[in-house]
Chains A and B, each alone.
Chain A
Amino acid sequence: MTPEISRIGPPEPVGQPAAPAGPVSYDQLDDHELLRLHVAGNPDAFGYLVRRHRDRMWAVAIRTLGEPEEAADALQEAFISAFRRADSFRGDAKVTTWLHRIVVNACLDRIRRRQVRAADPLPEDEDRATELAGPAEDDPAEVRERRLDVLNALKQINSDQRSALVLVDMEGYSIEEAAAILGCAPGTVKSRCARGRARLLPLLRHWQTTRAGAEAPDVPAKTAAEAVGTE
């Protein structure tokens, strides 16, 4: 059930022409409005905001960290951080971009701490791994299977390569943006991506073959010269 609340500030509808006058539900508020409500002291607005984007944030965390426990901890840290730093949010950015960045940073912090501890990889938990694909009723079997294949493959490459690949290939950050987030040179990001892809390739060959058999490839085969230009 969505409780009714009084709107504060001028309406900024997203995806609809105008918010109805009078009491509105949280679902009708856009991200900026929810964040403003939260900063103004509303106790529920932040929860709604997080609920709206949690599947996206979970995807980022679980792909970057590989382990559900780590991903849950990272999200908890990220959400608490976002909760407390909401008043520093600049209204000209998208709330999702801001939240996404906080989640990414929380994940990377955990990776750095884990590297310091030099922990051994956690043992594989088949039941838990299957849960990672999400509730069975939500997605078709092939979507879940592909998701699991990618998650399992990502877990098998080193965390530096995985972070770079998730940021650049999966989350669409530019090399320069990823370098700034990761605190390294752009060339290092490119190198980690390249080596990461080389590691992933044999792990996902089956997946690619299956996809190629099921549908036309998304990217037409390029020649080496086309892809990297000519000297």
Chain B
Amino acid sequence: MTDSGLPTSEHLEHLDPDTIADLIENLLPAPEAHRAREHVKACPDCQQTFDALLQLSADLADEGRTDIPMPTDVAEHLDAVIVSESMLRSSTIGVHSLAQIREEPRRHLPKLLGAAAAVVVVAAIGVGVVFATKDNAPGGTADTNPTTVVPTGAPTLSTSDVGPDAQRWLENSGGTLLNGSADELACAKNFASGRPNPQLRLVQPAKVDDQRATVIGLQGASTQDIQVFVVTGCSESGGVADPFYDTTVTLRNR
């Protein structure tokens, strides 16, 4: 024993790293801190741990100052999300945050579902493309996953499917579904702006009767009536919509 009555270091077990880390952060009660400090001074192993913990903080700070390149697929996805957000802002669709939608799902249900669907679908597509469909053949089209309520990728259908499918997509996404690349959305918006009923309710890339097309839905006489067009041209950057099929669907009240 020492003069102070405390045991010398050789009579003590090594301090565990938690205790040494707490010592560094001044978290130990005074008597325990004193004993720990004395031990560290006298014990080379614990002094080494002590030094290493200090060095670790410095190293983490160094590492923290370096950026990490965002993976290209994530960056592209986030770019697309922001472009979509810009388009939503400039459209007549009221957009609310995802947090609001989560917190107050019932209060805002009718008008928020549309906006939520638009944002969530963009997210689903982006993340899906980023993380789930990396093995898809380049330029290929992803079939609709039968277990999902809204399509991902560009589903394959015939013109006779367009009405029922568009109706199902819209009913399952709260009445509005804006899907596709920024170019495709912009092309659809241009198409809508030239119509007497310019409010976009549906944009969905698809392969219709074996040609790459875009299904566009415009609000009709009421919010339940949707005029559905199938156009070509929107899948190309700067393309102009050329409709080749149209139909009208009436959404069922949910």
Interface residues of A (CB under 8 A from B): 41, 43-44, 46-47, 50-51, 54-59, 62-63, 68-69, 71-73, 75-77, 79-81, 83-84, 109, 131-135, 138-139, 143, 146-147, 150, 165-166, 169-172, 187, 190-191, 193-195, 197-198, 200-202, 204-205, 207-208, 211-212, 217-219, 221-225, 227-228, 231
Contacts and interface: CB of A to CB of B under 8 A. Distances in A.
A98 to B, nearest CB: 16
B59 interface: yes
Contacts of A143: 66
26 contacts: A46-B82, A47-B79, A58-B70, A75-B74, A76-B78, A76-B123, A83-B86, A84-B85, A84-B97, A131-B71, A146-B63, A150-B60, A191-B22, A194-B22, A194-B24, A195-B21, A204-B56, A208-B52, A218-B55, A218-B59, A221-B51, A224-B23, A224-B41, A227-B54, A228-B37, A231-B33
B251 to A, nearest CB: 26
B32 to A, nearest CB: 12
B55 A217 contact: yes
Category for how many chain B residues contact A: 35 or more
A90 to B, nearest CB: 19
Contacts of B249: none
B64 interface: yes
Interface in B15-35: 16-18, 20-27, 30, 33-34
A77 B196 CA distance: 35
Interface of B: 16-18, 20-27, 30, 33-34, 36-37, 40-41, 47, 49-64, 66-72, 74-75, 77-79, 81-83, 85-87, 89-90, 95, 97-99, 119, 123, 126-127, 130-131
A54 B70 contact: yes
A170 B70 contact: no
B82 A83 contact: yes
A154 B126 CA distance: 27
Contact of B69 (A81, A134, A165, A171): A134
A69 B56 contact: no
Contacts of B23: 224, 228
Contact of A170 (B25, B53, B60, B130): B60
Contacts of A194: 18, 21-22, 24-25, 27
Given A55-B67, A231-B30, A47 B83 contact: yes
Shortest 8 CB-CB contacts between residues of A and residues of B: A170-B64, A134-B69, A194-B21, A55-B67, A198-B17, A58-B70, A224-B40, A59-B68
Contacts of A83: 82, 85-86, 89
Contacts of A76: 77-78, 81, 123, 126-127
Query: Chain B interface secondary structure, helix, strand, loop or mixed?
Result: helix
A191 B55 contact: no
A105 B33 CA distance: 35
Contacts of A138: 69
Nearest to B40: A224
Contacts, number: 195
A227 B56 contact: no
A66 to B, nearest CB: 13
Given A47-B82, A68-B74, A198-B18, A208 B55 contact: yes
A75 B26 CA distance: 35
B78 to A, nearest CB: 6
Contacts of B36: 224
A88 to B, nearest CB: 12
Contacts of A191: 22, 25, 27
A71 B72 CA distance: 14
B123 A224 contact: no
Contacts of A81: 97, 99
A139 B70 CA distance: 13
Contacts of A201: 17, 49, 52-53, 56
Contacts of B85: 46, 79-80, 83-84
A72 B68 contact: no
B78 A72 contact: yes
A225 B97 contact: no
